[in-house]
Structure 1
Amino acid sequence: MSESSAISGQDTIQESFAKRITALESENKSLSEELETTKVEREEVRAKLFESLIANKKYLRELERLKKENLLLKRMPLFLATVVEMGNDYVLLRQHGNNQEFITTAPAELMEKLEVNSRVAINNSLTIVRVLDHSLDARAKVMELVEAPDVSYEQVGGLESQIQEIRETVELPLTNPKIFEDIGIEPPRGVLLYGLPGTGKTMLAKAVAHESKATFIHMSGSELVHKFIGEGAQLVRDIFQMAREKAPSIIFIDEIDAVGSIRTHDGTTGSAEVNRTMMQLLAEMDGFRTRGDIKIIAATNRIDILDPALLRPGRFDRIIEIPMPSVEGRLKILQIHAGKMRKEPDVDLMEIAKITGEASG
C-alpha cells in the first residue's frame, strides 16, 4: 500500500471518529437535557404526591368523623330521669317529660355515685347508664339573675310607704339580722306584693335587692308552668338551690297566681302539673327555716285567686298592696323619668300628672 493511501485512510478514520464524537456529544447533551426535565417532573410529581398524602389524611379523618356520626345517628337515644328514692338493690326514678315513675337498678360503680335528686341518663330498657354531673338545671340558669341590680329607691316614685315597709321586712333582715336576734323575733320569711299591672312591683323588688347588695333571681310563674311541662317541680328546686349558692339573695316570683292559684283536681295533665309545682314551692318555702340570707318576694295581679296555703304564717307573712299612683305619685314618676330630658319652659309636669289618672306608672 502506498504512503498516500495510508494517509488517506487515517484521515477517513479520524473524520469518522470526529463525527462519532460529535454525535455522542449531541446525544449526551440531549440526554442531559432530558435528565434535567425528568428531575423537574420528578419534583413536581413528588409535590403532587405530598399534596395527595395530605388530602388523603384529611379525607380519612373526615371518613372517620362521618362513621362516628353515623354510629351516633343509629344509636338509640337516652332519656333523662331523677332519682326519687333509693334502696340497697333498687332505684326509684321519675322520668322527665311524662313524670312516670319506675323501679330499676344500676351497676355497682354507678350506685355509689347516686343520691336522691341525682339526674341520670337511662336507655330504652330503663336501665341507668350514666350519672349526670351535679349541676343546676340549665333552665334555671336562663332565669333572670342579676348579681347587683342597678335600681335604687330613688328611681321608684310614688311608693314611699311601701318602700318603708319592704325595707323593714326584707332589707333590714338581710343587712342587719342581729337586730332581730337581739329582740328575739323571727323576721318575715316572704313578702307578697299585689296590685294592678305596671304599678312597680318588679321595680320595687329590684330596688330592695340593690340596697341589700343581694343577688336578684327573677322567675315567672307562667313560664314555670307553660314552658316546662312535667318539670316545674325540678325547676323550683334548682331555683332555690341557686339562691343558696348566690346568697345573700332575693327570689322574686312574678305572676305567682299561675302556680299558686286555688288548687283544682279536674284530672287533666295541666292541673296535675300546676299542683305538683305548687306543692314543691310550698315545700321549699317551709324548708327555709334558717334562711336568714335568702328572702322571697312574690307578685300577683289577682290576690283573690291565690291558694290560702300560700298565705299561711311562715310563708308570705307580709302582704303589701301596690296601689295605683296618686297625683303626687304620678308627679314624682314624671320627675324621675323626665329629669334628664330637655323640656320646654312651658311644660307643666303637674298638669300632665293630673290628666293621666288612669296611668299606672
Structure 2
Amino acid sequence: MSRSPSLPERPRLDLDPDMSPDERLEALREHFEEVIQVNAKLEEQLDTAQKRREALTGEVDSLERENRTLKSSSLYVATAEEVLDDGIVIKQHGNNQEVLTENAAGIDEELEAGDRVAIDDSFGIQAILDPETDARAQAMQIDQSPKVTYEDIGGLEEQVQEVVETVEDPLSDPAQFKTVGIEPPSGVLLHGPPGTGKTMLAKAVANETDATFIKMAGSELVQKFIGEGAKLVRDLFELASEHEPAVIFIDEIDAIASKRTESKTSGDAEVQRTMMQLLSEMDGFEERGNIRIIAATNRFDMLDRAILRPGRFDRLIEVPEPDWNGREAILQIHTEDMNLGDDVELGTIANKTEGFTGAELSSLATEAGMFAIRAERTEITMSDFDDALQKVSEEDNTNGTPIAFA
C-alpha cells in the first residue's frame, strides 16, 4: 500500500524590528516566493491524490459488481406451457423438465402460454424474454429497397403482369379478391435459364411494394446439424408474420426442394427435413395473413412435385431467353445512358445476338464501352459492338451458345 506524500514545510516569516524599510520589503518578497513554490507543490500533490481517488473508486465499483455477480444465482431459460389460475406450468430448456410454479408477481397479467421466461433455482419466473428468432433470419430482411423497377426489365411484359397480379395486387388491394370470391394466390415460382431476369423481377417487386422484403438463397437453408435448417425456415416465416405485409424471396430453391431420393446419408436427410418444414410453412399461408412468396430456379426439372402443387405455388412463370423484340428492348435499357454514335442500330445488334440472355446483353453493352475507352473515344460506335460480339464468338467454342463475360 503506497504512503501519502509528505507535505512541504510551511514557510515562516521573521521580521527584525530593526530592519530598514527596504530590507523589510525584500524579506516579504522572498517569503512570498516561498509561499508560491509551496502552493504549487501542494496543488500538484492534490491533483495526484484526486487521480488516485478516481482510480480507486473505479476499482471499488468493479469489485462491487463482481461481488454482486458472484453472490447472485444464474437464471435459466424456460417456456411457459400453460397459465393456470393457481400456477404456471413451465418447461425448462435443456432437460425438458416440467414444473408447476407459482404465478409471477407483477408479470402474471402479461404472461401467456408459449412465452420464453427466465427462472431462478427455485423455478420462480423472474422475467419474460423476447421471442427467440435466429439472427441469420433477421439479417435476411432487406431494409433498403433495390433501385430496380419494372421499366428496367425488358422483354418480359407478360411475366411482369403475372408477377404483379400474383404478388402485388393481393398486398395492395385484397378487397377485390374478396369481391370476386376467390383466395389470392400465395406464391409464384420463376423458372428459366440463368441471366434471363428472374432475380431482377424479385428486386422490382421489393422496390414497387411497401411490404417487408425477406431475401434468402436456398443454399443458406442447408445446415450441418439436425433441425438447424428447419428452425431457420420457421424463424423466417415468423419474422414475416411479425412484419406483414411481407414478401419472401427464395433464390435457387432447387438447393432444398429437389426430388426426394432413397439416399440414406445424413446430409440428404437433413435437406429433406428442411424441405418438409418449408412445405409445412407454405401450407400455412391462409392463417398467416398477408405473406407472399417468390422463388426462382434455373433447374425446374429438379424440383420435387410436392412443392409445385397449387396452394404452394399458384403461378409457375417461365422466364425464357428473350426474342428479337425482347433483345432490342433490353439493349435500349442498357444503352440508355451510353453515348452512342449515329451508326449504332440496336435492331441490327438484336439480330446478331440470338440466344443471348438479358445478363449477357448487359455485359455486351459494357464490353462495347470498354472498346471505346481503349480507343480513347467517348462515343461508342457500331464497330465497338462488332468487336464485343467477336470477342464472345472467340471465347465460345462449344455449341454456339453465347456465354456471359466480364
Scaled to the shorter chain, the TM-score interval is 0.7 to 0.9
CA deviation string 1:235-255 (max 9, x = no partner): 323322332333322211112
Greater Rg over alpha carbons, structure: 1
Task: Check 1:247–1:194 CA distance in 2 against 1; reply closer, same or farther (3 A cut).
Answer: same
Matched, 1:59 2:55: yes
Aligned partner (choices 174, 177, 185) of residue 188 of structure 1: 185
Quote the offset at 1:170 in angstroms.
2.2
Residues 341 and 52 of structure 1: CA distance in aligned 2, closer, same or farther (over 3 Å): same
Cα displacement (A) at 1:202: 1.6
Q: Equivalent of 1:250, from 247, 254, 257?
A: 247
Q: Hey, what's the Cα distance between the residues in 2 that align with 1:49 and 1:333?
A: 79
Aligned partners of 1:358 and 1:147: how far apart in 2? 34
1:305 and 2:302 matched: yes
> RMSD across aligned C-alpha pairs, in angstroms?
4.3
Which of 324, 328, 331 lines up with 1:331 in the alignment?
328
Tell me if structure 1 keeps the 8 A contact 2:331–2:346. yes
SS in 1 for 2:222: helix
2:235 matches 1:225: no
Structure 1 stretches lacking a partner, 5+ long:
1-19, 96-100
Query: Residue type matched to 2:194 in 1?
Result: P
Aligned to 1:283: 280
Matched position secondary structure for 1:260: coil
Query: What does residue range 73-222 of structure 1 map to in structure 2 within 5 Å?
Result: 83=79, 91-92=90-91, 102-103=96-97, 108=102, 109=104, 118=115, 132-134=129-131, 136-146=133-143, 148-222=145-219
Partner of 2:371: none
Deviations 1:184-216 (A, max 9, x none): 121221111111222111211232344444332
1:237–1:284 Cα contact (<8 Å) kept:
yes
The number of equivalent residue pairs is 337
**Does structure 2 retain, via aligned residues, the 8 Å contact 1:106–1:129?**
no
- For residue 268 of structure 1, report the CA deviation from its aligned partner: 5.1
Residues 193 and 321 in structure 2, CA contact (< 8 A), matched pair in contact too: yes
Whole-Å separation in 2 of the counterparts to 1:229 and 1:260: 17
More moved, 263-272 vs 235-244: 263-272
1:11-90 matches, within 5 Å, as: 22=18, 32=28, 35-64=31-60, 83=79
* Aligned equivalents of 2:262, 2:65: Cα separation in 1: 46
* Distance of aligned partners of 1:300 and 1:130 in 2 relative to their CA distance in 1, 3 Å threshold: farther
- Relative contact order (alpha carbons < 8 A, sep ≥ 6): 1 or 2 greater? 1
What SS is found at the alignment partner of 1:334? helix
Q: Determine the C-alpha separation between the residues in 1 that align with 2:61 and 2:226.
A: 36
User: Secondary structure of the residue that 2:295 maps to in structure 1?
Assistant: strand
Identity of paired residues, percent? 47
1:340 paired with 2:337, answer: yes
Helix, strand or coil at the partner of 1:163: helix
SS at match of 2:354: coil
Instruction: Give 1:156 deviation, angstroms.
Output: 0.9
The structural deviation recorded for 1:154 is: 1.5
Three-state SS of the structure 2 residue aligned to 1:357 is coil
Q: 5+ residue gaps in structure 2?
A: 1-15, 359-406
Mean CA deviation greater in 349-358 or 333-342: 349-358
Give distance in 2, aligned partners of 1:104 and 1:269: 31
Query: Once structures 1 and 2 are overlaid, which stretch shifts more, 280-289 or 58-67?
Result: 58-67
Normalising by structure 2, report the TM-score: 0.66
Distance in 2 (alpha carbons) for counterparts of 1:119 and 1:79: 12
Asked whether the equivalents of residues 148 and 213 of structure 1 are also in contact (C-alpha less than 8 Å), the reply is no
**Displacement after TM superposition at 1:335 (Å):** 0.6
TM-score under structure 1 length normalisation: 0.73
CA contact (8 A) 2:80 2:89 kept: no
Shift of 1:161: 1.7
